[in-house]
Amino acid sequence: MLKRLTLIALACALLGLGLARPLRAGWGDETDPAPNPIDHVQPAPYQPKPDEPQKPVLEDKASWEKYSFNLKEADGSGNVTFADLARSGRPFVLVWWLSDCPVCHMQMPYVQQLARLGDDKSIDVKVVGINIDDQDRDCNDYIREKKLNFNTLRDPHGRSTDNHYGIRDEGTPMTYVFKSGGDFAGKLSGYTKNYPSKVLGMLGIAMPEQAASNGVSIQRADGTTQTRQFD
């Protein structure tokens, strides 16, 4: 009798365990745990450190269309547009030149001096040349020979920029000056005496003091060389 009761109790216990599982599952007692709220917190926007340089963010202006261009770099590294220069937040100078233009040869050392002042941070101005030679070879040979120290873009015969800048009518060298944000500041046509200071004057920037050794060498028609200081 005792043995039979023990077997009945054991069977009831096993039956109870078998029923327990579907009951719990039906009521949802074994559902996945609630997600950790920390896992769903959105990361905070990136905040630059106080000492990190912050680049200007400039919106495009309708006035840029008047001066728009898209030209390849003479070294083949890519293309540059007017909007690229305007968005940089820096004043910039565009200089059209031709490798067989005698007046360009006279002006080029002063253009280079202006570019150096921007490169060494003496002033915040970027100089960009636009060469209108027919052949890439003529442009690149001149760049190597004269060791030009500023970016040069290619626009054979001025086809892409003449409509906006009138280069064919006025000839080379031609300089257009733009303030920060691509606002037109003025232009210079032909050889310009005291070139760096006049360009900077259009931008309201004072000409930095130059050491006595920072002149430029000008090659005369007779083959002699003369060193000049900037005013």
Give tens-digit pLDDT for 31-57. Answer: 444 444 434 444 343 344 444 445 555
Q: Judge whether 186 lies within some domain.
A: yes
Q: Judge whether 40 lies within some domain.
A: no
Q: How confident is the model at residue 91 (pLDDT cuts 50, 70, 90)?
A: very high
**Is residue 18 scored above 50 in pLDDT?**
no
Q: Judge whether 192 lies within some domain.
A: yes
Q: Judge whether 159 lies within some domain.
A: yes
**Is residue 172 scored above 60 in pLDDT?**
yes
Q: Judge whether 115 lies within some domain.
A: yes
Q: How confident is the model at residue 27 (pLDDT cuts 50, 70, 90)?
A: very low
The larger pLDDT score, comparing residue 185 to residue 52, is at 185
Cβ atoms within 10 Å, residue 168? 14
Rounded Cα distance, 47 and 40, in Å:
20
Contact 215, 230 (CB under 8 A): yes
CATH of the domain at 210: 3.40.30.10
Q: Judge whether 93 lies within some domain.
A: yes
The larger pLDDT score, comparing residue 27 to residue 34, is at 34
Domain of 195, in residue numbers: 62-228
Q: How confident is the model at residue 227 (pLDDT cuts 50, 70, 90)?
A: low
pTM here? 0.67
The larger pLDDT score, comparing residue 26 to residue 229, is at 229
Q: Judge whether 151 lies within some domain.
A: yes
Tell me which H or E stretch contains 86.
helix 82-87
CA nearest to 128, candidates 144, 108, 152: 152
Q: How confident is the model at residue 196 (pLDDT cuts 50, 70, 90)?
A: very high
Number of domains comprising the chain: 1
The larger pLDDT score, comparing residue 117 to residue 121, is at 117
CA nearest to 154, candidates 98, 203, 219: 98
Q: Judge whether 29 lies within some domain.
A: no
